Chain A
């Protein structure tokens, strides 16, 4: 009964999974038809010694910490503000969520348009106010800030939405009890609200972290890793290796390290979540 389904499952997940592992031990060429040439651990040795890969991982880490950190902080503040509204919160939430529904590629295109040195609105504003003069996406440093902010703009609402759901579950009378105990808003936030929603915050963090590791579209469409590889996070590097240099065996090895890293992050989070649950 189950065999057709299992067969299909094998076809779309297991076969690619194992073939990519096999690919990572081969020199794969596409010229004159697909050809595998066994190369042992050559690709894996490169993964761990290639300075380009190392710098891409570092850029990824910076990118990861900056985007996820900003999204968590701004998203939480946004949720607290919306939650404190007495009226109109529904329409505000709907408006806040709009960025989330725009495809990342479109966000990238929008960003490119707004930051264009000759006719971009933001480029003009920054130039007029004297804050930044020059090609934003074309300069090391500013390009990284720009792509980070684009990601933050798109995904902060998701964090806000998740945190908002968490806030709704903080019992009103617990907050009132704290108020009667003499807690000011900041103390309520620190001692009651944040500990109560710490699980939800972890979930939001997990979702965003998993996304940030494999993040691709915005950078691909805006800087494509440039200038001077300053925004070349690991997925962009992987794309280059695979589809610009067609070094598919090496790309497979890089892809597997990304997968392992994702699994490690997810495991760490679920462990944290479990610990939270048993302690509270």
Chain B
């Protein structure tokens, strides 16, 4: 199996810098997700790892060996493309065995390997079909099967689920997580969907404008976003932001002014002093309806999901999104009061950097694997 290391990777496209110095370490058997909005450079970064794009400067190391000048076929990687990129005139079996055929592997051995991969993905019935006779989910599985057959040291997935419908996406997400456990391989996955990132990753790399904004476990990103961008990008619905004035700061936290009274957020002051303006961030699920709450709002829209209800609120100077339980009886245009636990709130300074929390959340070190199976 394999580790991957990126050292100060830069990519220029005709004078425009799309990747501006990325450092990254991927551990053996880790599931790493690159996530970010369109045009953040996540696909370019993956294509450079794959060898389909050359790095303008910087080093790419697999198992400690520099592979910048090694061709894509010889890096020992396999990639699953967004459009599946199946060979349209070949059967499923030929698609999956193409790399072996090029490597002149004997036919019997080829068939054996293809069958083994097909068994993992439940594709045995479809081996004689052509790609156009397959559904989207089946094509996706063939593309993954083609990668498995190569027995790569690292799997690369370039937005593999974005062409599937919502239900199938959830199913494939689970299947991919299962596959990661079964194959026990290093996997790198690119997506713009933060839910895919949160559910599958051991480690998430948040990119924006060719720069790494934060690297960490899903829970670390959720509970301790390093800046306002990460805070807004991770989590759904998006975090609420409100400009607030600082009343005072000490070792215990920072006091900020809210319409309904002061509030102490337990973060490092980091030189913030009375009178400064900060941005308060509170996730919708951390807001609670509370008749004694310090904040008020007028309900604009209610989205009932059954188990949970999303309320879109507005008051004189701000808009809020609030996630409450499914039994909320309020109606549109009702005036409600709400509050939040200051320990769950975030403060960001003028340049968008988060003031670090004084206490780390207990779950930040838990990765996805441990989520599902008790560690030995």
Q: Which residues of A does B touch, CB under 8 Å?
A: 171, 173-174, 176-183, 187, 191-192, 195-196, 279-280
Contact = CB atoms under 8 A, between A and B. Distances in A.
Interface stretch (B25-33, B70-78, B163-171, B195-203): B70-78
B132 interface: yes
B85 A177 contact: yes
A180 B152 CA distance: 11
Contact of A177 (B51, B74, B79, B89): B79
A187 B83 CA distance: 22
B85 A174 contact: yes
Interface in B242-299: none
Given A173-B81, A191-B98, A280-B130, A178 B88 contact: no
B52 interface: yes
A280 B98 contact: no
A180 B72 contact: yes
B98 A179 contact: no
A86 B274 CA distance: 60
Nearest to B47: A176
B79 A180 contact: yes
A180 B86 contact: no
Q: Which 7 A-B pairs have the closest CB atoms?
A: A182-B73, A181-B99, A177-B85, A173-B85, A195-B89, A182-B102, A174-B85
Contacts of B89: 195-196, 279-280
A279 B86 CA distance: 16
Contacts of B88: 174, 196, 280
B87 A280 contact: no
Interface of B: 50-52, 72-74, 77-79, 81-83, 85-90, 98-99, 102-103, 130, 132, 146, 150
B268 to A, nearest CB: 46
A181 B50 contact: no
Nearest to A170: B88
Given A174-B85, A180-B52, 20 more contacts: A176-B72, A176-B81, A176-B85, A177-B146, A179-B52, A179-B72, A180-B51, A180-B77, A180-B78, A182-B99, A183-B73, A183-B102, A187-B102, A191-B87, A191-B90, A191-B98, A279-B130, A280-B89, A280-B130, A280-B132
Residue from A177, A187, A196 having most chain B Cβ neighbours under 10 A: A177
A180 B53 CA distance: 12
A135 B366 CA distance: 89
Given A179-B52, A179-B73, A182-B73, A174 B132 contact: no
A191 B90 CA distance: 9
A179 to B, nearest CB: 5
A178 B52 CA distance: 11
B150 A181 contact: yes
Given A179-B72, A180-B50, A180-B72, A174 B102 contact: no
8 contacts: A173-B85, A174-B87, A177-B85, A179-B72, A180-B50, A180-B73, A180-B79, A181-B98
Contacts of A177: 79, 81, 85-87, 146
Contacts of A176: 52, 72, 79, 81, 85
A174 B86 contact: yes
A192 B88 CA distance: 9
A192 B50 CA distance: 20
A231 to B, nearest CB: 40
Residue from A182, A187, A192, A279 having most chain B Cβ neighbours under 10 A: A182
B50 A182 contact: no
B313 to A, nearest CB: 44
A174 B81 CA distance: 9
Residue from B50, B52, B146, B150 having most chain A Cβ neighbours under 10 A: B52
Contact of B98 (A171, A178, A196): A178
A272 to B, nearest CB: 15
A67 B344 CA distance: 78
B55 to A, nearest CB: 17
Contacts of B85: 171, 173-174, 176-177
B165 to A, nearest CB: 21
A267 B169 CA distance: 46
A221 B114 CA distance: 61
B79 A182 contact: no
A279 B133 CA distance: 11
A120 to B, nearest CB: 48
Contacts of A183: 73, 98, 102
Contacts of A179: 52, 72-73
Given A196-B89, A280-B132, A173 B83 contact: yes
A181 B81 contact: no
A280 B83 CA distance: 18
Nearest to B143: A177
Contacts of B82: 173
Contacts of B87: 174, 177-178, 191-192
A187 B99 CA distance: 11
Contacts of B90: 191
Contacts of B78: 180
A195 B91 CA distance: 13
B17 to A, nearest CB: 21
Contacts of B146: 177, 181
A182 B103 contact: yes
A171 B77 CA distance: 21
A275 to B, nearest CB: 13
